[in-house]
Amino acid sequence: MGEIDPPGHADHDDHSELGEMEARTRALESILTAKGYVDPAALDALIDTYETQVGPRNGARVVARAWLDPRFRAWLLEDATAAVAALGYHGRQGEHLVALENTAARHHLVVCTLCSCYPWSVLGLPPAWYKSAAYRARAVRDPRGVLADFGVALPPETEIRVCDSTAEIRYLVIPRRPPGTEGLDEAALAALVTRDSMIGTGLARVP
Ligand code: FE
């Protein structure tokens, strides 16, 4: 890094305690900031967005709305990008969104076999296991085994369809609405929708 002396890094002693990836990230951010390529405030705003504003709560609200409103559900299945945008969720990696409805007959499981394509606008950033080589390979080869690892046992007559995300298509799974939820409003329903249920590695919670 030579002559670059990043600002705000007087605490050099801390560096030894950083993991390698964090140290690399910090070094990269320092260089980009020092050279004027990135504005630290803009970077903080971006990180805050993905940590606090964009996340699976957005997707949960979409699912709850689809459970309650048949017209919204139809729109979501027809054009998920537009339906989700109507609720105010759009932005990077939310384009070309496709909603997949789980039923008694068919369960969808989403994977990105190539890398880690994921619908950021509705689910936030992907969990570490979603990016793991083990999940990516085994979801295709042995989806029922993967579901068992996640504690999900489906009846043998339920077909499991594995959907491979790409840069062109991101999937949002609409889990089955749990029994005993007839009187619940949208917020109460959304609280039952887990991140994993929208990837297909889980089911919605029973109240
Ligand atoms: Fe990918």
Q: Is the pLDDT of residue 12 over 60?
A: no
Q: Is the pLDDT of residue 142 over 50?
A: yes
CATH number for the domain spanning 123: value is 3.90.330.10
Residue 204 lies in a domain: no
Compute the average pLDDT of residues 179-190: 96
Residue 80 CA to ligand 1 center (angstroms) comes to 19
d(CA 22, CA 137): 27
Residue 3 lies in a domain: no
* Res 92: pLDDT: 66
Residue 12 CA to ligand 1 center (angstroms) comes to 36
Residue 186 CA to ligand 1 center (angstroms) comes to 31
* Res 1: pLDDT: 38
pTM comes to: 0.78
**Residue whose entry in the numeric block shows the structure tokens 């989403």:** 110
Question: How many C-beta atoms surround the C-beta of residue 48 within 10 A?
Answer: 11
Rounded to 5 degrees, φ, ψ at 140 are -80, -45
Residue 7 lies in a domain: no
Binned at pLDDT 50, 70 and 90, residue 39 comes out as confident
Residue 103 lies in a domain: yes
Q: Is the pLDDT of residue 160 over 70?
A: yes
Q: Is the pLDDT of residue 28 over 90?
A: no
Q: Is the pLDDT of residue 137 over 70?
A: yes
List, by residue number, the catalytic residues: 112, 115-117
Residue 170 lies in a domain: yes
Rounded to 5 degrees, φ, ψ at 149 are -60, -30
Handedness of CA 134, 52, 14, 42 (dihedral sign): positive
Residue 188 lies in a domain: yes
Residue 169 lies in a domain: yes
Residue 184 CA to ligand 1 center (angstroms) comes to 36
Binned at pLDDT 50, 70 and 90, residue 30 comes out as confident
Residue 5 lies in a domain: no
Residue 114 CA to ligand 1 center (angstroms) comes to 5
Q: What is the 3-state secondary structure (H, E, C) of the chain?
A: CCCCCCCCCCCHHHHHHCCHHHHHHHHHHHHHHHCCCCCHHHHHHHHHHHHHHCCHHHHHHHHHHHHHCHHHHHHHHHCHHHHHHHCCCCCCCCCCEEEEECCCCEEEEEECCCCCCCCHHHHCCCCHHHHCHHHHHHHHHCHHHHHHHCCCCCCCCCEEEEEECCCCCEEEEECCCCCCCCCCCHHHHHCCCCCHHHCCCCCCCCC
d(CA 155, CA 132): 27
Cβ 187 vs Cβ 79: under 8 Å:
no
Count of domains for the chain = 1
Of 145 and 52, more confident: 145
- Domain of residue 33 covers 19-198
